[in-house]
Structure 1
């Protein structure tokens, strides 16, 4: 029996005479925004987003956490409404879920009590397709995606790659015009993800899938350059399209091609340039969103960059490949190091400051003291917590006090993540103590 994680079969749902070619407009997003009301005004997740999808192209959306990529995808799918702007699908305003739009999720989203065949049939059943036609189309989709022989298996019996193939089959079985993919490979191991990407691209370039256009959300820059015809880069907080990049390479693409590597480097530079500009212009304020990066990761990156062969400076694509980190992993670490005055990020490179090089040479206690100094100087929330504790007679304060202040500026989830990040950093720097059970900050066991 063939390995379903190794290759796709040759049974098409629909046979096309040639690969998809650029053609008519399928989707148009105009001035779309999505916001939530907060005490300090509207919190924008997306702001003034514009994009167009045409027949015969794969378009990728790149952005760090907080760029609203998944929110935009759900607006395009008709699952949530924008608070401003308009989405037009096949020439008509989009109002609710649209016929001919299918989505593949990151987390497989299979029904565990249904077999592979039943999972694939589920969408057709919801559309009222008869049992005989349902089974015929589902079997064809299962064959196409390389799972023939596993029709009666349950999700628990399948590997991660096989489960994601079921997700693709379920999306393709409804013969969609537009396929939306929300980080569909991020939950898979590196080899399985690469194999599935290549197989799907083979089906696409051979014209063996019913879809006419693909929009994929990813945080993997190399994946975007490997798969897409165009790449949209989104800024964060709020999400805006800050760059549109045409990928000039034909399929199949060679990741080791110097031109391929140069484009990857260029995208890193664009994304880090925006990050640097925002950090320089805005700095950190009390209501700033902070990524939950552990002090172990911060210290680890400093140590790596301080040692040979980097000696304090590294190309971000190179360090990402070396450490097997993706955008959503590497950028937050670099961002926090920059906020704390330990690094400078510009033009796709990261440079350690003199303080960071000194930090790398210090012992544990000296590192803690230096980190505490930088934390109180550069992160207003940390300084705010310490100030409140110093001023209170009992040197104690509840978590909810600071969380409510943050919620005036940030979403509830962002406020919680930001406070958790500062708690982690404050504990490491020994500027305060925090009891997770009572949710109380204090200066107990901390020299005041």
Structure 2
């Protein structure tokens, strides 16, 4: 039996204006489809445009190029049959649970009596019977997200879009809510015909989805797709599930050919440095070097050991790879000889080695150092550096990248930074030479 198509995107591209007025491409030529009775998970690192793509499907923002259809009808604005659940709960704090859930129905002009009956029914379905009169501040995080889901489900949506809906919750609460949603779906207790889940959690994606789509970065493009034919409910400890998780970890950490050869590669001044700090880099290195890993680890096992999310760890893996301290390949991470030497070194030698690798592999750090050495005063203002970075990225991203470069450079004694004046200087020892 042929599945009916719910949402289809063809050649969708989207740009946003940078601070200097130039256009920054967020999504480029994205093709996507969601079929009836299908759950699709969308994975991608920060900056891949996952949430932007979701908002285009919901009709909340428009694409610059491409075709977007819902049941073969063009999407020009918010669609009645599509509902969205947000990561931040997005509840009105001055409204009761009942009133928050009824909002969508009220906007559709549904009479008060019917609104109340439908809200009561969905609150019972989602496990919140008796909480209709409560205010959001009286609820736990998991209960708030249940209200957000109830508000989406009460409109009987054809398509449910979930934007990292479980990521703000603790692990156990998120897993419970995810399983409850899957049970409602499996037993057709909700009218929803298709679900798209944006996630940064690989295990969550494998446990929920029929297909996993991975987006590349800068700009967001579909890199690959993994089909999952396993029946639900799925056993997270089964060989089939663990194999799929490993496969997707490998795909997520693999450097795509396009990313390696374009101006967005690590050799470029506008490379978006991975958003991680030195303490986390060294923490993962120490853990990797210690028992039971002894220099090599399966990425899901390492994530479990650190109790950090994939979203927190992926930038650290990227930084370790960038600095030549670890090799990430096919879902595994291993210390390089340099990384093993780094772990064994004393603090002074660690910092010296970090600085050497930084100058060798991070063009922005090398650019700052060269310009400091060329300045008679040995001092540089940060503003021109920010303006330079804003040629490649948005203002907030430029600020973040410079902050990371400053932190790494200070640790590696490549340069110093005065937070009061906003100026970079050569280290004091270099000034004396």
- Provide TM-score, normalisation by structure 2: 0.95
Query: What is the match of residue 25 of structure 1?
Result: 5
Q: Does 1:153 align with 2:134?
A: yes
Stretch moving more, 304-313 or 79-88:
304-313
* 1:54-88 deviation per Cα after TM superposition (whole angstroms, max 9, x unaligned): 11111110111111111100111111111111111
For residue 266 of structure 1, the aligned residue among 247, 252, 265 is 247
* 1:317-355 deviation per Cα after TM superposition (whole angstroms, max 9, x unaligned): 221222223321221101011111111211111121111
Contact 2:212 2:226 in 1 (8 A): yes
For residue 101 of structure 2, the aligned residue among 110, 120, 125 is 120
Q: Does 1:243 align with 2:224?
A: yes
Q: CA 1:261 to 1:280, structure 2 compared with 1: closer, same or farther past 3 Å?
A: farther
* 1:216-239 deviation per Cα after TM superposition (whole angstroms, max 9, x unaligned): 100111101101111111111111
Q: Does 1:391 align with 2:371?
A: no
DSSP-derived class of the 2:157 partner: coil
| Correspondence list, 1:277-356, <5 A | 278-279=259-260, 282-356=265-339
DSSP-derived class of the 1:447 partner: helix
Query: What is the match of residue 213 of structure 1?
Result: 194
Contact 2:414 2:427 in 1 (8 A): no
For residue 349 of structure 2, the aligned residue among 344, 357, 366 is 366
Contact 2:413 2:427 in 1 (8 A): no
Instruction: Name the CA distance, whole Å, in 2 between partners of 1:265 and 1:302.
Output: 20
Contact 2:161 2:196 in 1 (8 A): yes
Contact 2:123 2:129 in 1 (8 A): yes
| Correspondence list, 1:377-416, <5 A | 377-416=360-399
* 1:200-229 deviation per Cα after TM superposition (whole angstroms, max 9, x unaligned): 111110000021110010011110110111
DSSP-derived class of the 1:45 partner: strand
Instruction: Name the CA distance, whole Å, in 1 between partners of 2:327 and 2:396.
Output: 28
DSSP-derived class of the 1:345 partner: strand
* 1:212-267 deviation per Cα after TM superposition (whole angstroms, max 9, x unaligned): 11001001111011011111111111111111111111111101110111111111
Quote the offset at 1:142 in angstroms: 1.0
For residue 187 of structure 1, the aligned residue among 168, 174, 179 is 168
Instruction: Name the CA distance, whole Å, in 2 between partners of 1:130 and 1:337.
Output: 58
Contact 2:275 2:316 in 1 (8 A): no
Quote the offset at 1:133 in angstroms: 1.5
Instruction: Name the CA distance, whole Å, in 2 between partners of 1:292 and 1:436.
Output: 20
Query: What is the match of residue 199 of structure 1?
Result: 180
DSSP-derived class of the 2:273 partner: coil
Quote the offset at 1:390 in angstroms: 1.9
Quote the offset at 1:429 in angstroms: 1.2
Instruction: Name the CA distance, whole Å, in 2 between partners of 1:348 and 1:171.
Output: 36
* 1:156-201 deviation per Cα after TM superposition (whole angstroms, max 9, x unaligned): 1100000000000100111111100000000001111111011111
Q: CA 1:130 to 1:437, structure 2 compared with 1: closer, same or farther past 3 Å?
A: farther
Question: How many residues get paired?
Answer: 428
Instruction: Name the CA distance, whole Å, in 2 between partners of 1:190 and 1:311.
Output: 27
Contact 1:291 1:417 in 2 (8 A): no
Query: What is the match of residue 12 of structure 1?
Result: none
For residue 434 of structure 1, the aligned residue among 387, 406, 417 is 417
- Give the 4+ runs in structure 1 shifted more than 6 A: none
For residue 104 of structure 1, the aligned residue among 56, 61, 85 is 85
Quote the offset at 1:446 in angstroms: 5.2
- Provide TM-score, normalisation by structure 1: 0.92
Quote the offset at 1:444 in angstroms: 5.7
DSSP-derived class of the 1:215 partner: strand
